[in-house]
Amino acid sequence: MTVNLDISSMFAEYFSFTAEVVVHAPGRVNLIGDHTDYNDGFVLPAAINFGTDIAARNRNDDLVRVVAVDCDNEIECFELSNIQFSDTSMWSNYVRGTILSLLNVYPDLHGVDLMVKGNVPQGAGLSSSASFEIAIVKALAELNQLPINGIQAALIAQSAERDFVGCNCGIMDQLVSACGIQGHAMLLDCDSLAYEHAPIPDGLSLVIVNTNVKRTLVDSEYNLRREQCEAVASHFKVKALRDVTLEQLQSEHSVLPAVLYRRARHVISENTRTINAHSALANKDMKTMSRLMQESHHSLRDDFEVSTPELNFLVEIINKVLGNKGGVRMTGGGFGGCVVALTPTELVLSTVRAVEEHYQKEYGLEPSIYQCSAKNGAFA
């Protein structure tokens, strides 16, 4: 477990009490399988060594006090009996929503003092929100000795983001933050919630490049893309696009609006790519993995239309460095954010140099570059 040791002393200094628990929940990067999770499909993420730390202590009343270290120690207070959405402090809604979701299952919770600190880049597509939510669930579970496993924690966190915060997200981010395994990627079936791990081959690093084009999923076209996918599923009278084959979709090409056809084609083909990518990792077949990641990016760019010129540019210049020895694609919800490059260790420096040499010159933005490794989830 990666824990920010400073948060314990900061908690004690601020609250004048010793924290009873200190927990950590990682962010995640998705190697392949984007916009498939809320279509009951397959994803291949890994938990990463960036995340959220929380120090916490139970109270004897129903007051919740939360201090956000990264927001200049901004404090929010609310009562368990009166949890309301805040229009002025968006970050606190993740706390409010997660605790409300927990109360629906465990109504006898106490009030709590929380101190929160994280290093997942905001709005970059590395799931700072899921990391935050899972850390809150973990802290309250440890404080109150709640019998919560990783899947239950993920469902509680997803409910908070979907029903309280208002982002109609899938389950991937929360589940890998809870259940990821060090050195592995997770193939997750978002319908059954069954998952299996595949080792990331030795000698490969996860290089993540943030375009620093910020976006917030709640305010983007994320929810629209979900509605479009649901419209196609409804056309075929199935629960989700997971249950539609490419042949079925092609048979309705002349009937479906062109934009809906493209959205569904991405999801259906991405599911196949993700399953094949899991096999490629298990077999250490980087040539196939490279091709699948490239095809995924093109599909997200052309069919799902969630990429940006900045993301496309980064993929192009990194791909010239990696060739078929590694893979690169946009990752996350899109509309900005990051690319992920599965990079041989000997090519990391060349990859970084290519990005630093060309990206700012082209777009006037300074990229943020992170070399990551796969870590354990909060409930692993």
How far apart CA 10 and CA 122 sit, in angstroms, is: 22
Burial class (CB in 10 A: 0-12, 13-18, 19+), 82: exposed
Catalytic residue among 173, 202, 219, 302: 173
* DSSP assigned state of 307: -
Please name the residue ranges forming H helices in the chain: 6-15, 90-105, 128-144, 150-159, 172-179, 222-235, 246-251, 258-282, 286-302, 309-322, 348-363
How far, CA to CA in Å, does 290 sit from each of 277, 306, 324? 9, 20, 5
Burial class (CB in 10 A: 0-12, 13-18, 19+), 13: exposed
Q: Is 173 a catalytic residue?
A: yes
- The answer to whether the CB of 231 falls within 8 A of the CB of 260 is yes
**Size of the chain in residues:** 380
117: which strand partners?
53
* DSSP assigned state of 163: I
Q: Give the residue from 344, 265, 338 showing the smallest Cα distance to 305.
A: 265
10 Å Cβ neighbour count for 288?
A: 16
How far apart CA 187 and CA 45 sit, in angstroms, is: 7
187: which strand partners?
196
Contacts of 307 (CB under 8 A, 6+ apart): 297, 300, 301, 330, 334
Catalytic residues: 173
